[in-house]
A = this chain, B = another copy of it.
């Protein structure tokens, strides 16, 4: 990517940090029009902005899709349609002839959702929230025996996954100190090597009941080799589940083809469904919903007889069988809304743009900042190989990070700081453009200088 960008700049006699250069990249972006589908916050509506440093009427530099994606314009339209329906028709909204009768509200996102994760629609359900689903999936897929009872996760898994897994181990009467196998990077390295993961699976696989890793690591931004790890773990007889919170809508996924057992994800990051909105699950079609124990509820009941109320449970086939409750309409409609934007493109197109966008970010960071005074203020802990990462770059600072972050905020940059020393920067290909990336790097450069100056 660097080569392509540098030669394009040379050809046009521009520097890669020129406004004209990012504008050129934007003009060549076949997905650029999708930005207009979103509300981009204006700097003046953000807190802690310094009007002397930035034009507060400009759009902010939003690099935080890894935490909460931006709001599609269609969302409030659809939400108000449902609010209106409730106000005007009450319970009739469940079964009425409107665009989205509530009784089926959870079905409307399935086709688009399945496309995004590379699944058959019947392998996908939208329900609950992420950690809830991690637990509900572990009920059928973590069934420890005397000899096979361990769970393999990352040493620095997202806290909620760590707590979920620990509590499941305790629930089954085991001790996490014994049953939890933690994958650590090699000394001096930030991310896990696939070969090391495979070695652990090869060595300890016979005692591992479940491998549950994240598709994209929340802290480092590492994209795991899902097909290779899945295949190796399944060959050893382990169940394999993936937490795709940071991978969905970010990386190209082929969950069905990769033969993943189950996967869970939230929808409020790259899927842009709003804070805490409804989550998704994938269960591979090779699993018959009736052959494993799982927790059951009426929403998992076969649809045509769900309301017969005879208390004889006949399960929906596929992922739909794992549903428990009637889903929240107001947590689901924003997902329907945001997936309608995904329907205007494809994950392959988005990924293609993403590689360029993040490649441009990396190149600018290296040119503009890493070489400043000959020394870097930070290292990029995300893998350098595009294949091994999503859109996010995680910058680990060797100066104090809080003052830098505060300076970024003054300039209308929305990124995300993680204790102790990391700023995560995530240009989302659905709405971020190359100018955002250029502006981010300029603001970071200025912020580093300003933070350094106030230190003295």
Contact = CB atoms under 8 A, between A and B. Distances in A.
Interface string A312-328: 01000000000011111
B298 A159 contact: yes
Interface stretch (A115-123, A347-355, A382-390, A413-421): A413-421
A361 interface: no
A83 interface: yes
Interface residues of A, number: 90
A167 B293 CA distance: 7
Interface in A327-351: 327-332, 334
Nearest to A326: B276
A374 interface: no
A116 to B, nearest CB: 20
A307 interface: yes
A68 B411 CA distance: 47
- One complex includes copies of this chain to the number of 2
A75 B82 CA distance: 12
A134 B136 CA distance: 13
Contacts of A136: 132, 135
Interface in A165-180: 166-168, 170-171
A67 interface: yes
Interface of A: 39, 41-42, 45-47, 62, 64, 67-68, 70-71, 75-76, 79-80, 83-84, 86-94, 96-97, 102, 105, 128-132, 134-136, 139, 156-160, 162-164, 166-168, 170-171, 219, 266, 274-279, 293-301, 307-311, 313, 324-332, 334, 414, 416, 418-419
The 4 closest A-B pairs by CB, nearest first: A129-B325, A131-B297, A160-B298, A39-B87
